[in-house]
Amino acid sequence: MELDDLKGSWQQAGSSDKNNAELRKMTKVSGHPKLKRIRAKLLIETGLLTVFLLTYQDAFDGAEKPLWANIVLIVFGLLFILNDLAGYFLVMKRVKGATIVDSLVGLITILKKLSVFSVVSSVLFGLSLILFFSTGLVFDDNKYLILAGMVVTLLALSYGSYQRWKRQIRHFSELIHEFSG
């Protein structure tokens, strides 16, 4: 069978099963499977961070910690939320170029920036939390060990995240290569 023999079948394929109301729902964020999940994650993380920032002064003796540790924690906490927002907007509108290859090139550029922002903001937020809770403590060998363990875990998680970003970027670079041969 030749490819041209498939033209008829191809042009007949596909149904018209979606009505106007169903299609309208799909134009809304609430009808988008991935955006709905990201929005829920964003709301939960923002909610938890807000509760934390409102209560940490009393619950975790924030007033007794140095001012710089408080500022660092708030700034990097907000940066972490900003990173979630950036991801949300990327998913919201991911097709931008005049051609398919242009769009993929644009997507790679955004993903590269977002990967750096995501990994850096996560590391900084993690470090600011560790710093906040460790300032003012009297360290002994055990506490140093726990601190080292926390830093190593944070770095390992960040490395894993960096590798996932790298895989995504490589996937799209390979796709462009498939087009250009």
Partner 1 sequence: MEETFLELIEEHQQIIHRVCGIYRDSPEDREDLFQEVVFQLWKAYPAYEARSKFTTWMYRIALNTAMAVFRKKEVAMDLEEDMGRKYGAVGQTSVSENEERLYESLRQLNDAEKAIVSLYLEDYSHREIGEIIGISENYVGVRMNRIKQKLKRILS
Nearer to partner 1, 27 or 142 (CB): 27
Q: Give how far Cα 51 sits from Cα of 46, 86, 88, 89, 133, Å.
A: 9, 22, 22, 24, 17
Nearer to partner 1, 101 or 151 (CB): 101
Nearer to partner 1, 141 or 178 (CB): 178
Least distance between partner 1 and beta carbon 82 (Å): 21
Footprint on this chain of partner 1 (rule: CB under 8 A): 1-3, 6-7, 9-11, 13-20, 23-24, 26-27, 31-35, 92-95, 97-104, 107, 168, 171-172, 175, 178-181
Nearer to partner 1, 21 or 67 (CB): 21
Least distance between partner 1 and beta carbon 99 (Å): 3
Least distance between partner 1 and beta carbon 147 (Å): 34
Q: Give how far Cα 80 sits from Cα of 70, 90, 93, Å.
A: 15, 16, 21
Nearer to partner 1, 20 or 142 (CB): 20
Nearer to partner 1, 2 or 58 (CB): 2
- H or E stretch covering 75: helix 67-92
Cα–Cα dist 181/176, whole Å: 8
Least distance between partner 1 and beta carbon 8 (Å): 9
Task: Give yes or no for a contact between 73 and 54, defined as CB atoms under 8 angstroms apart.
Answer: no
Least distance between partner 1 and beta carbon 154 (Å): 24
Cα–Cα dist 126/108, whole Å: 27
Length in residues, the chain: 181
Among 120, 123, 131, smallest CA distance to 72 is for 131
Task: Give yes or no for a contact between 159 and 123, defined as CB atoms under 8 angstroms apart.
Answer: no
Which amino acid type is present at position 126? G
Least distance between partner 1 and beta carbon 84 (Å): 18
